[in-house]
């Protein structure tokens, strides 16, 4: 389960600012968390083939086992801090008795912004995910990954570069991807969903924001949206 810096740090920071009384003496209270850190290389090696359910068994089992360990530790709910597993959500959470974060909150944020068309950028699995598109459609938003295979390949390459910490020209690279994907496919003002935690690293100053604008493009940061939803659920239980 992957980056954005540290979801734990962001949740703790929000707790310190919004929950703790700044006038109270002593060290502020912080939320208790259990973390299952999965091997990214292993998870990628377990990716299956669309339409072949059996080919996904190792991927699903690997993530479900992590949730089972978390549930056994006594936690109240879980966050999958990665977008790709959400394509396999129904199978991964089978038999899990605690709430687990879902991609729905990203669709809700896009609708709240007034988006009607959304370009999904992420891993190859996420960009072609019918489940992600269905979640957006529930809120009246038409969403899709780039149709051009070259643009999809560029996106996956950019994610790989960001995973290695190569961020110098990432905003320009991402801008080219957006322009190439959007020109033939979208008719309204473009909203781009950064549906991979690494993609937000292209914008260091905005990586903790749920949404932001850059060069006339509105971006929805799925990682930040998920983290905010988890915090709000923990505080309000809704």
Summarize pLDDT for 82-92 with one digit per residue, the tens: 889 989 999 99
Q: If residue 228 lies in a helix (H) or strand (E), which one and from where to where? A: helix 222-236
Order of all β-strands in the sheet with 211-214: 142-144, 117-122, 191-195, 217-221, 211-214
Query: Is residue 124 pLDDT above 90, yes or no?
Result: yes
What is the average pLDDT score of the chain? 86
Of the candidate CATH numbers 3.40.50.1860, 1.10.3710.10, 1.20.58.480, 3.40.720.10, the domain formed by 104-225 belongs to 3.40.50.1860
Residue predicted with more confidence, 116 or 16:
116
Q: Where are the domains of the chain?
A: 7-16+32-101+227-236, 104-225
**pLDDT at residue 179, rounded to an integer:** 86
Mean pLDDT of 88-112: 92
Distance between CA atoms of residues 50 and 17, nearest Å: 43
pLDDT one-digit tens code per residue, 187-220? 567 799 999 989 998 998 887 889 999 888 899 9
Helices 222-236 and 104-112 cross at an angle (nearest 10°) of: 100
Q: If residue 192 lies in a helix (H) or strand (E), which one and from where to where? A: strand 191-195
**pLDDT at residue 234, rounded to an integer:** 79
Distance between CA atoms of residues 118 and 216, nearest Å: 14
Distance between CA atoms of residues 22 and 1, nearest Å: 33
**pLDDT at residue 20, rounded to an integer:** 62
Query: Is residue 145 pLDDT above 80, yes or no?
Result: yes
Torsion of CA 121, 10, 73, 238, to 10 degrees: -80
pLDDT one-digit tens code per residue, 43-91? 999 999 988 999 999 999 999 999 999 999 999 899 888 889 989 999 9
């Amino acid at each position: 389960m992957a980056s954005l810096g540290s979801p734990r740090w962001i949740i703790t920071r929000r707790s310190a600012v919004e929950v703790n009384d700044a006038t109270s003496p002593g060290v502020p209270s912080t939320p208790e968390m259990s973390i299952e850190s999965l091997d990214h290389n292993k998870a990628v090696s377990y990716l299956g083939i669309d339409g072949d359910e059996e080919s996904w068994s190792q991927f699903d089992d690997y993530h479900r086992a992590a949730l089972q360990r978390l549930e056994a530790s006594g936690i109240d709910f879980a966050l999958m801090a990665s977008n790709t597993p959400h394509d396999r959500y129904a199978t991964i959470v089978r038999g899990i008795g605690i709430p687990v974060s879902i991609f729905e909150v990203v669709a809700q944020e896009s609708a709240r912004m007034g988006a009607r068309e959304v370009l999904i950028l992420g891993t190859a699995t996420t960009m072609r995910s019918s489940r992600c598109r269905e979640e957006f459609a529930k809120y009246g938003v038409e969403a899709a990954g780039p149709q051009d295979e070259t643009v999809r390949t560029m996106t996956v390459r950019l994610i790989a570069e960001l995973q290695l910490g190569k961020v110098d020209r990432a905003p320009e690279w991402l801008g080219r991807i957006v322009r190439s994907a959007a020109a033939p496919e979208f008719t309204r003002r473009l909203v781009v969903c950064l549906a991979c935690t690494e993609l937000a690293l292209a914008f260091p100053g905005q990586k903790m924001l749920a949404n932001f604008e850059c060069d006339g493009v509105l971006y929805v940061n799925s990682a930040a949206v998920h983290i905010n939803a988890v915090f709000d659920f923990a505080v309000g239980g809704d």
